[in-house]
Each structure stands twice: as structure tokens, then as C-alpha cells.
Copies of this chain bind each other. A is one copy, B any other.
């Protein structure tokens, strides 16, 4: 399934319109990550952590800093700035002006039997334009599915749920009260009036996932937030923008993920643990309940504590 943006692209824009001080005459079609950008796209590169992606980007233009520009391919035009994320935010605001605020979907209607003949709905369900729901799926009462969301077959969506900007696979369970696809917690701090970072990404929930009650999953900023196949998530878990969780993971209640971390396959995380942002957690990792993970964890490790260390070290220090 092709995954498109949920927000309308107001581009193309001339590079001179985006950056008045540049002399390059070039049309920008879209804004994407280093990895996903193609010809005529603008991208951004703000941390040496992404050097390998920078070297291989196919973007025509990249916003970056004096220090990082050397890693970019020679045929990539460079826009030098001091604050990469602020410049990116301003460009995104031009391309996708409505993506920095969660305006409620005003196209919602009661689902029509003719459009969804094989879906069972509770009472007062509200469905936006162009929503697709597969056969034998259930949607509970007072739930809202906003425009363009895709839900697979054999899914059970509970009551009082909200889903927007999301692709949901087959046989997915989303229990009561979950809020999925919200704008993430991203902004450029400015005293008195922060600049809200546009969030044009989406949430991608794969087959056989189960998400328990009252979880929140924010959509990606440029990228996606992704939950891998057969991963089960307990009540009141918070998953921030751009987080990628692998397959067959088990995540207990009240766990929190800060933005942009990547979690491997077969990872189990105990209740109330917290995972900081921009980390890489390997496959088959076990994280004890209540732990605070602040650095990358290689495959097959068992960690615990605050900050989390290997279980051996944790027990030694007790």
C-alpha cells in the first residue's frame, strides 16, 4: 500500500521564496528526510548521527550547517543555516500550513451502510472523508476516525477512540480511549510565542498489533511513527513522534517513549519504564520495569535501573 501524506502539499516553491538570501534558482517539490528524499526534494541534515544517510541522500537541496556540509553528496545544493530545525520548520509551514496544529476534522459524518457494508459500528461513530475500513472490522461507540485513515480487515477498534493520520493493518486491536495520530510535541522555543513545528507524518500500525486502553501515539514529524507486527502494548503507554517499534515486542503499562527512538524486534519493556529520544535499542532486549533508558542498547541485553545499566551491574550496585 502506498502511503501518502495526510496534508496537502502547497508546493512547488522556488528556493528563493523559501530562502530569500539564496541565489540558486530552483523549484522544490517537497520536503523529505535524508533517506526518503528524491530529486527536486529539499531535505535537512542536523546531526553527525545521520552521516551515513547524508552521504547517500538523493535530495536536490539540503539545509545544514557549515560543520556538517562536507558529508553531503557533491550534486546536492546546500543551504547553510545556524538553526537547521528552525529553518526546516519555516519551510514546512509554507508547504503544509495546517500541519502544525490539530484542527479538528470538520468533514466527519455517521458511517453509511452502503459505504461500509461489512463493518460493524457502535453508536455515534464519526468517520471523515475517504476513510477505508476493511471487512469484518468493528468500531466502538463515540469513536472518531478522521479523513483518509486506512484501517485493515478483522480489526477491533474500541469505544471513545480517536484515529487520525494513520495506516492501520489487519487484525489490529485498539482498545477504548486511545488517541492515535496526534501532532507530536515539537516546537522551536521562542519566549512568549514558540514556533510550532509542522507534523506532516503519519502513524503506521502493522498487522496483529494490540494496543490497550488510553494510549497516545503521536504521528511522525516528516517521517512515520511505526508499531511492528504482533507487538502488544498495555494501557496508558505514550509513544512520541517518529518512534519505530519492531515486531513481537511486549510493552507494559505506562511506558513512555520520547521522540525518534528505534526499538528492535522481540523487545520486552516493563511497566513505567522510560526511553529517551533518538536512541537505538537492539533486538531481543529486555528492559526492567521503571527503568530510565538514556543510551543505545545493543542486541540481546537485559537492562535495568535509572539510568538503565546491564542487569549484572544493577545487582552489583545494590
Interface residues of A (CB under 8 A from B): 101-106, 108-109, 120, 122-124, 126, 138-142, 144, 156-160, 162, 173, 175-177, 179, 182-183, 185, 187, 189, 191-194, 196, 208, 210, 212-214, 216, 218, 229-230, 232, 234-236, 238, 240, 247-248, 250, 252-254, 256, 258, 266, 271-272, 274, 276, 289-290, 292, 294, 305-307, 318
Contacts and interface: CB of A to CB of B under 8 A. Distances in A.
B276 A274 contact: no
A156 to B, nearest CB: 5
Contacts of A160: 142, 144, 160, 162, 179
Question: Which label, helix, strand, loop or mixed, suits the secondary structure of the A interface?
Answer: loop
18 contacts: A101-B156, A102-B156, A102-B158, A104-B159, A122-B126, A182-B235, A185-B235, A192-B229, A193-B208, A194-B210, A194-B232, A196-B210, A234-B238, A254-B256, A256-B272, A274-B289, A274-B290, A307-B318
Nearest to A306: B290
A25 B124 CA distance: 50
A86 B189 CA distance: 44
Contact of A176 (B106, B109, B182, B274): B182
Given A103-B156, A216-B214, A235-B218, A108 B141 contact: yes
A294 B288 CA distance: 11
Q: How many copies does the complex hold?
A: 3
A101 B208 CA distance: 12
Contact of A214 (B175, B179, B196, B276): B179
B218 A158 contact: no
